[in-house]
Chain A
Amino acid sequence: MFLMETIPLIILRTLWISGTAVVLSLLWSLPLAYLLSRKHGLAKIMVPVFDALIGVPTVLIGLVLYMLFSSRGPLGFLGLLYTPYAIIIGEAILVTPLITSTTYHVLNNVISTYGELALTLGATDKQAMMVALREGLPGVLASIAMAFSRASGELGIALMVGGNIKGYTRVMTTAIALEVSRGEFESAIMLGVVLVVIVVSTSIAIRFLQRKVYG
């Protein structure tokens, strides 16, 4: 039970690591999706690839990054192994296919459909853009929420490149794994419940936001 006092810190660490990972991923996922929506040929090849990678096993990303970041690996000199930054990078990569693919589909279908519809009703180009965003944004927001859930709920990357270091890289999933291995089921279950609450409330918050806007 000695873990209990540090639980709030672990929760906060999980939130910032996964949150930062999602934001980082947005930096390239959104431009990538835009690029794909412009280049039909490229999209034909890349979109199915991204779709397939949505479910990529986290241990696989963990393994690859471990080899890159380990002291003898090509990026070993960066000293990233067993830091929160390694987890952030890994989780950002993890959620890239999900965000890119959803955003691509939104740009490609939703925006062209609603953009054209707005034009038929006499919208200016700018008004058409606004209405297309209004229709497309919920899909993108939902995928961002999903990405956050996936990032905060993954174990493979955090364990392999984070190392589950107490007070530094320990996040909720690695803490749960540790507690279970110690036979401390009570705190493991508690952390598990909190994790579920975080994931569910993210999704509820997004829904609530959509209600507000589209109600």
Chain B
Amino acid sequence: MAIEFSNVWYRYPGSRKWVLSSVDVGFDESRIYVVFGPNGSGKTTLLKIASLIYRPVKGKVFAWGYDYWSLPNSKRIELRRRIVYVHEKPVLFKGTVEYNIAYGLMIRGLDRHEALVKARVLLEKLGLSYLADKKTNGLSAGEAQLVAILRAIVLEPRILVLDEPFAHLDSSKRDKIMELVLELRENGTGVVIASHDVFLAKAIAERVIVVENGKVLKPD
């Protein structure tokens, strides 16, 4: 397993309520997972823990076999860069769309110019070149979500985590993203999608993980 939870518990700082309790779940590469559950059930929290952003309050998260949170910082960063999380409410940096898409590449040490070219190539591939020079504060909700997703995809992560990725997308954009997701999966990326859309879950999921009230239901 790429990411594996072992009896994970989580509550937010300053709160006493357990948001996740005793969760055991795993995500592997080359698979499409849909994490399914009602509002407030804990999907986002689970995804952020899986993406090595939140540290569990109790329990362990193994990342490619390593007990992630007991590793030194220098080792952690290398593992964390294999998995990319996309927020359900897209957050974009100030500046242009191409800067946003190039950001992850630049912090990985890619030359600025090369990173920007890569960003443009990806936009072109989707017929979205017109977005490249746009300022992010002038984007529609759907465009913003699209940019956030592309910013993750360009990094070619081993695991791509999408939190409610289709909320604002029209059907043509949705199809484009689906195509990309399937292409990534063919190339070995694991994709984890949180959603409360049953049809989506049935349509593309190879594994469905059902979350209810902070617990992962056992498949039966």
- Residues of chain B contacted by A166 (CB below 8 angstroms): none
Q: Which of B60-100 contact A (CB under 8 A)?
A: 73, 77, 80-81, 84-87, 91, 93-95
Chain A residue contacts of B51, Cβ below 8 A: 120
Is B53's CB under 8 angstroms from A116's CB? yes
Is A122's CB under 8 angstroms from B93's CB?
no
Question: Is A207 an interface residue when CB atoms closer than 8 A count as contact?
Answer: no
* Count of chain B residues with a beta carbon within 8 Å of a chain A beta carbon: 22
Q: A40-B14, A116-B53 are in contact. Are A121 and B94 (CB under 8 A)?
A: no
For B73, give its contact among A117, A121, A125 (CB under 8 Å).
A125
Set of chain B residues within 8 Å of A119, measured between Cβ atoms: 53, 80
Chain A interface size range: 20 to 34
The smallest beta-carbon distance between B16 and chain A, in angstroms, is 14
From the candidates B86, B94, B95, B107, name the one contacting A122 in the complex (CB within 8 A).
B107
Which among A116, A123, A214 is the interface contact of B107 at CB below 8 angstroms? A123
- Asked if B53 contacts A121 (CB within 8 A), the reply is no
Q: Is B155 an interface residue (CB 8 A)?
A: yes
Q: Answer whether residue A69 sits at the interface, using C-beta atoms and an 8 A cutoff.
A: no
B residues whose Cβ falls under 8 Å from a Cβ of A: 14, 51, 53, 73, 77, 80-81, 84-87, 91, 93-95, 103-104, 107-108, 151-152, 155
Q: A121-B84, A121-B151 are in contact. List 16 more A-B contacts (CB 8 A).
A: A40-B14, A113-B91, A119-B53, A119-B80, A120-B53, A120-B84, A120-B85, A122-B77, A122-B108, A123-B107, A124-B73, A124-B77, A131-B93, A134-B93, A134-B94, A138-B94
